[in-house]
């Protein structure tokens, strides 16, 4: 599963994770011919990123090439169930990637369009945000 090797601070403030606006970078296809683009902001967990990646690889039977353009680098902490108030912040439980609208999540190359669309549609069903499939050279 994806997570940073080393981080500066163990716990992040929640208000720093409020996600608004459009993505200023990572909004265009840089590596592949086909991509999956986020249409709304949200948090995607490392497990969801991995589940979508596995789905893509299984659908294309490991042909072509896949790039993951997001990385979960924000720790999310939780307190155990039925614990009284106080006694500090909970320990980090999982990692998320803060994704803004317009960000490219996955890119693919080396396969035909029909197969790529099928794989990216299946991957989109594993993610908690609305997405769309983009193709290089189409739309501009």
Residue ranges covered by each domain of the chain: 18-78+90-134
What is the residue-wise DSSP string for 99-115? Answer: E-BT-EEEEEESS-HHH
Each of the 140 residues of the chain gets a pLDDT tens digit; together they read: 899 999 999 998 876 657 888 998 999 999 999 999 999 999 999 999 999 999 999 999 989 999 999 999 999 999 999 999 999 999 999 999 999 999 999 999 999 999 999 999 999 999 999 999 999 987 65
CATH 3.90.1170.10 corresponds to the domain 18-78+90-134: yes
Number of Cα atoms under 13 Å in the Cβ half of residue 76: 12
Are the C-beta atoms of residues 76 and 92 closer than 8 Å to each other?
A: yes
Q: What is the pTM assigned to this prediction?
A: 0.92
Residue 14 dihedral angles phi and psi, to the nearest 5°: -70, -35
pLDDT at 15: 66
């Amino acid at each position: 599963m994806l997570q940073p090797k080393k981080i500066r601070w163990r716990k992040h403030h929640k208000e720093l994770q409020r996600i608004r606006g459009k993505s200023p970078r990572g909004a265009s296809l840089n590596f592949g011919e086909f991509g999956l683009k986020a249409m709304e902001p949200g948090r995607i967990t490392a497990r969801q990123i991995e589940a979508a990646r596995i789905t893509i690889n299984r659908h294309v039977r490991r042909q072509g090439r896949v790039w993951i353009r997001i990385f979960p680098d924000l720790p999310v902490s939780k307190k155990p169930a039925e614990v009284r108030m106080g006694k500090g912040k909970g320990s980090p439980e999982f990692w998320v990637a803060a994704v803004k609208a317009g960000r490219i999540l996955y890119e693919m190359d080396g396969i035909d369009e029909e197969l790529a669309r099928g794989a990216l549609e299946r991957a989109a069903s594993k993610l908690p945000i609305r997405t769309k499939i983009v193709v290089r050279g189409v739309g501009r």
